[in-house]
Structure 1
Amino acid sequence: MPPKLSKYTIGQIVRHRIFPFRGVIFDVDPEFANTEEWYEAIPAEVRPRKDQPFYHLLAENAQTTYVAYVSEQNLLPDDENGPIRHPMVTEMFDGIVAGRYQLKPARAN
């Protein structure tokens, strides 16, 4: 079976369905592509399926910024659409247009 098409796109601002953080997508894996150790560390009752897109985010919560790896089932569009304060945002993106970060031309494939 071919991988599912991703619901979200690079540059889109999203938030986590369960945990209080939001971020901007900077890469997408068509299905799970992290380590088994990482996957098994997720509590079984909230562990996502592997057969769905997973997103790399420049993420932020109230305390800090970090990089997150999140399954599609755990993401929602972000209603704030305001800037993400992660320090790497300016390295990857030019700014926000119509609620979406614009990837710098040098970063586009």
Structure 2
Amino acid sequence: MNEAKFSIGKIIQHQLFNYRGVVIDVDYKFLGSEQWYDQVARSHPPKDQPWYHVLVDNSNHQTYVAERNLEISDDISVLNHPLLDHYFTGINKGNYQLRTKKN
């Protein structure tokens, strides 16, 4: 199993498309469909490396991104996304704090 570079709550920067976002989930390898990979992942990043579910800053969009296309963002200011409060309680030192579910 591959160890992920980025954890849930980490603010990242997409290297190819230059957007910021926050990680909301991590897959140890690509878990999407072959059809999605062929249509969307045009740079053909490795499937056997970690992939991340990301809320995109200043958007309503959520995306699925290969680790090789991400880096830690130098800009750790608060992000703007309507689902932030659903996943996180706030931000501390550049990392969003995961909201815990209560029964």
Q: Does the pair score TM above 0.5? A: yes
Gaps spanning 5+ residues in structure 1: where?
Answer: none
Report the AA paired with residue 23 of structure 1: G
Tell me the residue number matched to 1:39: 37
For residues 65 and 79 of structure 1, what CA distance do their matches in structure 2 show? 22
Q: Please give the secondary structure, in 2, of the residue aligned with 1:76.
A: strand
Does 1:93 pair with 2:75?
no
Cα deviations by residue, 1:23-58 (Å, 9 ceiling, x for unpaired): 100100000000111100132xx1101010000001
After the TM superposition, which parts of structure 1 deviate over 2 Å for at least 4 consecutive aligned residues?
Answer: none
Tell me the residue number matched to 2:21: 23
Deviation at 1:65, TM superposition (A): 2.9
Does 1:50 pair with 2:54?
no
Does 1:67 pair with 2:62?
yes
Report the AA paired with residue 72 of structure 1: E
Gaps spanning 5+ residues in structure 2: where?
Answer: none
The CA RMSD measured in Å over matched residues stands at: 1.3
Deviation at 1:83, TM superposition (A): 1.2
Percent of aligned pairs with the same amino acid: 40
TM-score (norm. length: structure 2): 0.92
How many residues align? The count is 101
Q: Please give the secondary structure, in 2, of the residue aligned with 1:48.
A: coil
